[in-house]
Chain A
Amino acid sequence: MGHGLDLFSALAPEGAWSVTELTRRARAVVEGGLAPLWVRGEVSGFKAWQSGHWYFALRDRTAQVRCVMFQKDNRRLPAPPGDGMQVFAFARPTVWEEKGEFRLTVVDLLSTEAGGLWQRAFERAKAALAKDGLLDPARKRRLPPYPRRIAVVTSPDGAAVRDIMVVASRRWPLAELLVIPTRVQGEGAEAEICAALALVTRLSGVDVTIIGRGGGSREDLWTFNHERVARAVAALPVPVISAVGHETDVTLCDLVADVRAATPSAAAEAATPDRAEVLGMLEHLGARLARGLVSRSGRVAERLDRTFDRLGAVLARRLERHRDALAGLAGRLDALSPLRILERGYALATDERGRVLKRVAQLTPGLAFELRVTDGRVAARVVDT
């Protein structure tokens, strides 16, 4: 037994340590003897304090250890663990002197389950959004057929913004593209995206919004799984197309958006009509317009024809009546004709000047005159009176 070590200096009451000395010593021993390490166990008694620090125990069948995870470390995690969850914790064993308690300072935490804390965070946020009705399919709005202004919320440097510009200007150059630049990954990106979305609501005349980024790792895309971002997307007053470039993982942003596109190019395609197709549609409308007028005037012409026919019939009937009347008159005229009287055997005597000789005094002896009978004229002379 050496005497140089403090540890053995308290074997007699007169050398007794203070509690502070003991716990400080115990802490030094524990921290010196146990380097930071991974521990596996079940979470129990989890509590998140107002300060943002997490307190819980890790346990297995026969033992447990108190744990703390400070806010500066736990804020990197997507969600707190739940009680009963099996986890791996990377921790520094220590002694908490104030309570004389052996415990772990956890600096990283992984769930042993598939998807782990990320999945858990996703499900929690999704449930919260669903509870507020933000995932209701009935909320989905129709995209405008001919957008005038398209807001694009994305990184100004990525391939996404170029793809959107190229596709949208080729398909529908009538639209004005307004790019609202924002970071899309890294710490604080979700706050920047929310600010960019808030900016969109201040722009006038925006018909549709595209939010997105090109492909990336699951962690890179995580920004679009923040409940805050999803709520900001849901709050936009215009239809939103979400294009968070990942085929397999659907993000919360995708779920609340009105349309989900697999890529930024697909989003631009969904946002715009195709100019060539619209031109074709206009040609078709033009043809229908012309046919419409032709058939319309055709119908008017038919009606005119029918009217003419009726008019003709009326005129014909009227003419018929007139013809009958004329025939009657003609008959009466005929009856009065002097020729009719001659027919009956009378003769008409006229002098050379055409005067009718009706009296004896007019017929002096030797006078040459003319006799008109029914079939011609005869020259005559008065022999005697």
Chain B
Amino acid sequence: MAPGGAASKGARSAPSFAEQVERLEEIVRRLEGEDLDLDAALALFEEGIERLRQARERLAAAEAQVKQVIADQAGNLQVEDLNR
């Protein structure tokens, strides 16, 4: 019944923005620091580019959502849009 149960499940299947940026930073650090063979470096690079693209897309596509949460008399949570 909790609102966003579904939303947070959805969020869990896709990496969060924070996870995406963290992974990207890790990739850059490894690419800059570790002694990798070319195949591994290329694979990391490709993953990095892909994550960069996804993060940019997320930023571009995002549209703010505002909702109001209230508890009804039975204690159930009601969520309604509050986009003004």
Contact = CB atoms under 8 A, between A and B. Distances in A.
Given A149-B4, A199-B77, A285-B25, A179 B41 contact: no
Interface string A262-305: 00000000000001001101100110110111011100100000
B2 A204 contact: yes
Interface string B47-78: 01100100110110011111111110000010
B8 A205 contact: yes
Contacts of B59: 174, 275, 278-279, 282
A255 B58 CA distance: 36
Interface stretch (A1-9, A165-173, A376-384): A165-173
B4 A205 contact: yes
From B3, B24, B37, B64, residue with most partner A Cβ within 10 Å: B64
A293 B52 CA distance: 15
Interface residues of A, number: 43
Contacts of B32: 288, 291-292, 295
A194 to B, nearest CB: 13
Interface stretch (A140-148, A238-246, A352-360): A140-148
Contacts of B4: 149, 176, 178, 203-205
A202 interface: yes
Contact of A177 (B25, B36, B65): B65
Given A169-B64, A199-B69, A199-B71, A297 B41 contact: yes
Interface residues of B, number: 44
Contact of B17 (A146, A168, A195, A285): A146
A293 B42 contact: yes
Contacts of A286: 49, 52
B60 to A, nearest CB: 9
B38 to A, nearest CB: 5
Nearest to A198: B71
A65 interface: no
Contact of B77 (A195, A203, A279): A203
Nearest to B33: A292
Contact of B16 (A146, A178, A203, A297): A146
A293 B49 CA distance: 11
From A181, A205, A281, A295, residue with most partner B Cβ within 10 Å: A205
A215 interface: no
A165 B66 contact: yes
A224 to B, nearest CB: 21
7 contacts: A149-B8, A178-B3, A181-B68, A286-B49, A293-B45, A296-B31, A296-B38
Interface of B: 2-5, 7-8, 11, 16-18, 21, 24-25, 27-28, 31-32, 36-38, 41-42, 45, 48-49, 52, 55-56, 58-59, 62-71, 77, 79, 82, 84
User: Top 7 nearest A-B pairs by Cβ distance?
Assistant: A169-B64, A292-B31, A205-B8, A173-B62, A173-B64, A296-B41, A293-B45
